[in-house]
Each structure stands twice: as C-alpha cells, then as structure tokens.
Amino acid sequence: MGAVLDDLLVLDLTIARAGPTAVRYLADWGATVLRIEQVGGSGSIVGDHDSSDYINLHRSKALIGLNLRDDADRNRFLRLVEHADIVVENNRAPVKASLGIDYATLAVINPRLIYGSISGYGQTGPASDKGAVDQIIQGVAGMMSITGQPGEGPMRAGIAVSDMAAGHQLAIGILLALRERDRSGLGQWVQVSLLEAMLTFLDFQAVRWTIDGKVPPQEGNHHPTGRPMGAYRAADGFLNIAAPAGRLWTRLCEVLGEPDLSTDDRFASAADRYHHRRELDAELERRFAAAPRAEWIARLDAVGVPCGPINDVAEAFADPQVQHLAMTRRIPHANRGEVDVLRDPITMSRSQPVTPSASPVPGRPTDEVLADLGITPLT
C-alpha cells in the first residue's frame, strides 16, 4: 500500500509560513509537491534555502523557478495546472488577477483543480487587499490582549500562531474538498484567512464575549477561568499544576502539607478560589518555594494531580516522553549534512506519513526536476 496522498500533484506557490505549512501536511502524507518560486520575486521570508526553518518547512518538496510575469514561463505553469490536483497560493487578489493565476482562470483549464488560498483578512471585504503577517493578526484578532501579565500591556505569543492555525485549517479544507471531489468530480476554491483562523483559535475566550458579553482580561501564566491552574515557582524553577476542582484541589493541599487550606472560606469552592485568586496564588507560591520542582512533581504525580516542569526547548526535546515519541526524523541535506526535522504529529493505526526528504536546493534544471516527478518537459 502506498502513502495516503501519493496519487496527488500539488503546485505550491506560497511564501511566508501559513501556506507552506498547509502544503507540508500534504507532502508528509505522500503528495508529490512541486514548489514554484517566483524568479525575481520575494521568494521565502523564512530564511535562505539552508536555514533550519526553510529545511523543516519545505521538506519533501521539489523546487523550480518560474517568472509568472513572463508569457513563456506562465504558459509552462498552465501546462502544469492541467495535470495538477491542487494549487496553493497566498497572493493578494490583485496579484492573482494580474498574473492570470486566479481560481476562475485555472478552473477553466482544469475543472477538477482544488485551489487553496490563504490571505491575511479574507478574499472579500474592506480589508481584503491589505497585507498581513502573524503578529499583526494576533493584535487585530485580540490574541495579544489576553496574553501576558495583567497590567503589563499586550504580549505576542511565542510562536506564529495565526500562521500555523491558518495552515492547519487550509490543509483540512483541502482534504474536505478532495473528499467532495470524489463525489462530484469537480474541484473548488478553498479559502482561509489568518484573521478567521486566529478568531477560531480564540475558542472559549471568544465566546466569553460573543455569548457572555465579557471581555477576557490578561491572566499571565494562569488559566483564565480556574484556579489553581497555572505556573508556580519552586525552589529551583517553575512548574505547572492543574488542580482547579474537587479531589484534585484536596490532594494538592495534602501534598503541600496544608489540608486546612482546602476548607479555608476564601478557597472552599471553585468560584471562591477564582474570586480570591491573587491571595490563593500567593499562598501557593510561598509553599512551593520550600522544595525543588522535581520533588513537587514526583509527589503530585503520586496522587494524580496533573503537573509538569516548564522546560526550555532543549529540555523539552530531552524529556523521556518526547524521546519515546520520536518527534524528529534525521535526513541528509546537500549543504548541511545530517539534520533533524520535525515529524508529522498524526499517528494512524494502518497508514503512515512518508519518510521526509530534504528541502529543495535551488539550481537544478527545471526539466531534470520535472523528470524526477514523472512530468514531461514543458517546452
């Protein structure tokens, strides 16, 4: 049995992170991906072709360069579209139209084509022509207003969360369109924006406003609605705990050697603990400071209270469970030797992602690259 998506040809026109992330999911599960970088264009903004980010983001893809403003190169691209299953792009609408690579144009050439688009703000509307990057959208969507310590101003998330969210959602949308194509025989235009993706990822924080009419505040490293559920400083570093209700709260108090804390009038119920959360956090900080975090984690694990260390990235990858999960795959790279890229996180009982190959290195002749993919020269 071949890889799940090994019968698909994907043309990747994307730059930045969100679009390439969507395409990477398809490549990881076996799709043949031909990355087309605009000759004379901006190319990638995630670093040069030998950067760690580029290597990981564009693994298992082939690469050619075309100038889509040149008639001959555009005709070569349209020849590829005839054979493609999926095109993914993140150009603004006027750019798509001026290049003649918009969905309406390509669907005439290939009615089965699934055309995936990522934009900053959506394909229509008053802001649809604006460019956007992750941090801008984190701000517009309200993400930064609920991140960070209370009173210290907005804070961006430490990863490109709206890019990653949009990439995930576009990959899901493309798979849905493939399923629908099995029934109808026709492709369609799949659209995701960073703004829509980010608003969706606000999830329960969003509906605190849309349903409850409450604007969520910053809560720093603590859960927005439950206590104790957050980060606390031990004698030698920080740990996370989650004991917001019921027996977990009682067990935490017993581990701390303070069983009476669980019946303190200020902390007796979940609502009381949240109302007096600043006092509760101070009480817990004082007690956790008495021992190192490894000791607290061992004692909390023993009674089933969810907890864990707050690691840096190196510590995270050294964690025994992460080692067991084998989250990286070692691949050879033409210029950097053996490198470790991240693996696809999905595990299926029968199907597996492909073993990743190195990200493409520019410079190979176009016809040679296409021949490797089983595509005849685009003369």
70 in the same domain as 174: yes
305 in the same domain as 252: yes
- Do the domain assignments include residue 99? yes
Q: What is the pLDDT of residues 72-108, one digit of tens each?
A: 999 999 999 999 999 999 998 889 999 999 999 999 9
Pairwise pLDDT comparison (376 vs 279), residue with the higher score:
279
- Do the domain assignments include residue 215? no
41 in the same domain as 105: yes
User: What was the pLDDT predicted at 46?
Assistant: 44
284 in the same domain as 150: no
- Region 171-177: mean pLDDT is 98
- Do the domain assignments include residue 19? yes
- Do the domain assignments include residue 378? no
User: What's at 146, amino acid-wise?
Assistant: I
- Do the domain assignments include residue 218? no
User: What was the pLDDT predicted at 185?
Assistant: 98
Tell me 124's DSSP state: S
User: What was the pLDDT predicted at 44?
Assistant: 43
Residues 58, 83, 223, 275: which is the catalytic one?
223
Q: Are 255 and 299 in contact (CB under 8 A)?
A: yes
- Please report, for residues 243, 280, 352, the alpha-carbon distance to residue 267 in angstroms, rounded to integers and kept in the order given: 12, 7, 48
161 in the same domain as 30: yes
184 in the same domain as 104: yes
User: What's at 123, amino acid-wise?
Assistant: Q
CATH of the domain at 107: 3.40.50.10540
Helices 194-202, 161-184: inter-axial angle, 10-degree rounding? 100
Number of domains in the chain: 2
Pairing of strands 337-342, 328-333: antiparallel
User: What was the pLDDT predicted at 245?
Assistant: 87
- Do the domain assignments include residue 238? yes
- Does position 127 have pLDDT exceeding 90, yes or no? yes
Whether 333 is a known active-site residue: answer no
Q: How far apart are the first and last CA of the chain?
A: 34
- Do the domain assignments include residue 267? yes
330 in the same domain as 313: no
310 in the same domain as 162: no
- Does position 171 have pLDDT exceeding 60, yes or no? yes
Reference 177, options 194, 189, 195, 161; nearest CA is 189
- Region 213-227: mean pLDDT is 95
CATH of the domain at 241: 3.30.1540.10
Can you say whether residue 292 is alpha, beta or left, with left for phi > 0 and alpha for psi between -120 and 50 degrees? beta
Rounded to whole angstroms, the Cα distance separating 65 from 211 reads: 49
pLDDT band at 38 (very low <50, low <70, confident <90, very high): confident
The residue out of 273, 296, 318 marking a domain boundary is 318
345 in the same domain as 259: no
Residue 300 exposed, middle or buried by CB count within 10 Å (0-12, 13-18, 19+)? buried
- Region 335-359: mean pLDDT is 93
149 in the same domain as 68: yes
Pairwise pLDDT comparison (215 vs 95), residue with the higher score:
215
Q: Are 118 and 14 in contact (CB under 8 A)?
A: yes
Residue 302: domain span:
229-318
194 in the same domain as 55: yes
For the range 75-82, what are the long-range contacts, defined as Cβ-Cβ under 8 Å and sequence gap of 24 or more?
A: 76/366, 76/378, 77/11, 77/36, 77/101, 78/106, 78/109, 79/378, 80/11, 80/34, 80/375, 80/378, 81/11, 81/106, 81/109, 81/110, 81/113, 82/109, 82/110
- Does position 231 have pLDDT exceeding 90, yes or no? yes
| Mean pLDDT, the chain, integer | 93
Structure tokens at 110: 């290939």
96 in the same domain as 244: no
pLDDT band at 362 (very low <50, low <70, confident <90, very high): confident
- Do the domain assignments include residue 362? yes
